[in-house]
Amino acid sequence: MCSRVMQTDPTPPGESFGNDFTNFLGNLPWSSITKDDGILQQVWCCPGKTGIVFLLVGLHWQAVYSGAGKKWERNVKLVDNIFRTILTAPSL
């Protein structure tokens, strides 16, 4: 996204991106982020360049560069769970 703003051509992610993204989502502290306002404490759940838009970009890149298979389908469900958790956070 930063490359787009600076009008430079970004390099696409490598083939291992799909596995890396799957590992990232799988290793999130699900027990703590799905309780109360735990999700809002995550660095990537803040506005700005490191915000939750990277989850959507990650899903897109995984589909385009790593193939949209069973891991991708699982990741879509995890990201859906993240968005639903944000929407139900008590302080919002």
Per-residue pLDDT of 29-87, as tens digits, reads 999 999 999 998 888 887 777 788 889 989 999 998 888 789 999 999 999 999 999 99
Who's near 11: CB < 8 A, 6+ residues apart?
Answer: none
Crossing angle of helices 53-66 and 17-26, rounded to 10°? 140
Angstrom CA distances, 39 to 27, 28, 78, 85, 92, stand at 14, 10, 13, 7, 11
pLDDT in the model for residue 53: 86
pLDDT in the model for residue 6: 63
pLDDT in the model for residue 14: 84
Q: pTM surpassing 0.85?
A: no
Average pLDDT, integer, range 20-24: 93
Q: Flag whether pLDDT at 19 surpasses 60.
A: yes
d(CA 78, CA 86): 12
d(CA 71, CA 81): 15
